[in-house]
Amino acid sequence: MLLSRTAAAAHGVGVSVPGLISERLNQVVFCPNLHLLDHRNPAQDLEQRLGIECLLMHELQALCLAERMYGGARGLDNFAMLDVTQGLGLGVVVGGVILAGHSGMAGEIGHITADPTGIRCGCGNRGCLETMATDAALVRMMRERLNKPLSFAAAASLLEGREADFQTEILAVAEYLAIAIAAVINTFNPTTVFVHGKLLVEKQARFDLVLARVRERTLEPLLAECTIVATRSSKRQGAIAGIMHWLTEGRTPGLGRRR
């Protein structure tokens, strides 16, 4: 929410969500991991209730804006953003413009099939990359090893004390995440790839495992021109950056306005 410093009045609200957001239909057309958003526009619902301008954004596009405003992407016109928390999403900025595709739904790299016989994904397919290359995938693998329920927070705590016990799972997820990062670098030739995550990214030793695999998977000339780093911004900052960008700079090609 963007507030006035003088009157403390709200000028707008940014709504950052996962899933496929169609600019043509002005709604979330499909959200594999949060189906209650299917065919909805939560920003439009909020706007009707609050009576102020609300902007609906894909969380990866919002993260791109947040990293440019608050993080390490300041001054960068060509970079990529990977989110590897619950799902695996991609945002790409080319020439200072967010790559949106025909209907604003570009970037669904997480639903590329990595294992045709793999587990069922939230999208209905099997073996999608996001079922094998994310924090959620690591938690699922740890849960299967322990054969008991395991929350995200409990998994993080367990890794702090017993990381050596889960090296097989960590290495498996790191391998698939490296494949995803290498695909982004080989396809888009960005100056920087920012990776947003918790279990695999914020712990430097685990992130180093991923980076070592990336070096094995990526074309050398492209990797030589690219830096891979963890994000410094958050999805909440992305929602703020989105509404600030819209209210202060208006409609921007590649960003679009989803109300």
**C-beta of residue 222 within 8 angstroms of C-beta of residue 185:** yes
Count other Cβ atoms within 10 Å, centred on residue 216: 9
How far is 70 from 73, CA to CA, in rounded Å? Answer: 8
Q: Which of the residue ranges 50-54, 119-123, 240-244 has the most confident prediction, judged by mean pLDDT?
A: 119-123
| Structural domain that includes position 59 | 1-71+234-259
Q: Are residues 169 and 226 in the same domain?
A: yes
Q: Are residues 138 and 219 in the same domain?
A: yes
Report pLDDT digits (tens) over 165-186: 999 999 999 999 999 999 999 9
pLDDT at 7: 55
Give the domain CATH number at 46.
3.30.420.40
pLDDT bucket at 228, cuts 50 / 70 / 90: very high
- pLDDT above 90 coverage of the chain, percent: 82
- On the 0-12 / 13-18 / 19+ scale of CB atoms within 10 A, 222 is middle
pLDDT at 253: 39
Q: Are residues 108 and 188 in the same domain?
A: yes
- On the 0-12 / 13-18 / 19+ scale of CB atoms within 10 A, 232 is middle
The mean pLDDT of 184-191, rounded to a whole number, is 97
Asked whether the predicted pLDDT for residue 232 surpasses 60, the reply is yes
- On the 0-12 / 13-18 / 19+ scale of CB atoms within 10 A, 120 is exposed
- pLDDT above 70 coverage of the chain, percent: 93
Asked whether the predicted pLDDT for residue 252 surpasses 50, the reply is no
Q: Are residues 192 and 243 in the same domain?
A: no
pLDDT bucket at 8, cuts 50 / 70 / 90: low
How far is 246 from 172, CA to CA, in rounded Å? Answer: 40
Report pLDDT digits (tens) over 39-83: 999 999 999 999 998 999 999 999 999 999 999 999 999 999 999
Q: Are residues 215 and 167 in the same domain?
A: yes
How far is 19 from 21, CA to CA, in rounded Å? Answer: 6
The mean pLDDT of 188-198, rounded to a whole number, is 97
Q: How many domains does the chain have?
A: 2
